[in-house]
Amino acid sequence: MTLQNELDAGLAALDLPLTATARTRLLRYIALMAKWNAVYNLTAIREESRMLTHHLLDALSVARFIPEGATLVDIGSGGGVPGIPLAIARPDLSVLSIEPNSKKASFQQQARIDLGIENFEVQTARAEAVNLPEGRDFIISRAFGDLADFIKVAGHLLKPEGRMLAMKGVYPDEEVRAIPKGWSLLRSEELQVPGVEGARHLLWLARELQSDG
């Protein structure tokens, strides 16, 4: 089966209809990642077919949960996952990637230019040092660390009513119990990723807003 066929089958399984242009960009992104990976070590996965399932389709499994026109920050995405696939699949989104590793950030910047992803930006910095005065609707991370660290590092980038989205494997019971005071788990979605075995979850976190009364 060709990568194109694998992508088409994966998108059908996710019920995510995309334009021919978006599909082409996604395949070019995989090719670009494979090319740069030889030098920049973007991912431990070397085979393009597994990059497609374990990175690209894994990222796209959350696309349907993000409202139209939302602003999204991707924290520590390395090679650009999930931010770049989401920006390609969802041109209505405004996606900012914050990546402290300069080589990985350079790859993301090159991907943005080569693939013409106008709704995607990358900033080379540690998330703790970034200031976004107006905040963003969603902060997303994939395999970033535990939930408490995610909140500590990136919670300040969120609008007061915004949501933090943590992509996880097995449901992290201990991490949920250790969520810091002032924050809460709103819900958890179990994800089905084509070609990926094992549990996948999307956890929604939010501030516990204090009422005036």
Annotated binding site: 76, 127-128, 142
**DSSP 8-state assignment for residue 211:** P
Numbered residues of the known binding site for S-adenosyl-L-methionine? 76, 127-128, 142
CA–CA distance, 49 with 185 (Å, rounded to integer): 34
Q: Give me 124's structure tokens.
A: 């080379």
Contact 151, 170 (CB under 8 A): no
Contacts of 196 (CB under 8 A, 6+ apart): 53, 54, 57, 58
Q: Are β-strands 120-123 and 136-142 bridged in parallel, bridged antiparallel, or unpaired? A: unpaired
How many angstroms separate the most distant Cα atoms in the chain? 61
Q: Give me 123's structure tokens.
A: 């900033």
User: What DSSP assignment string belongs to 83-122?
Assistant: HHHHHHH-TTSEEEEE-S-HHHHHHHHHHHHHHT-TTEEE
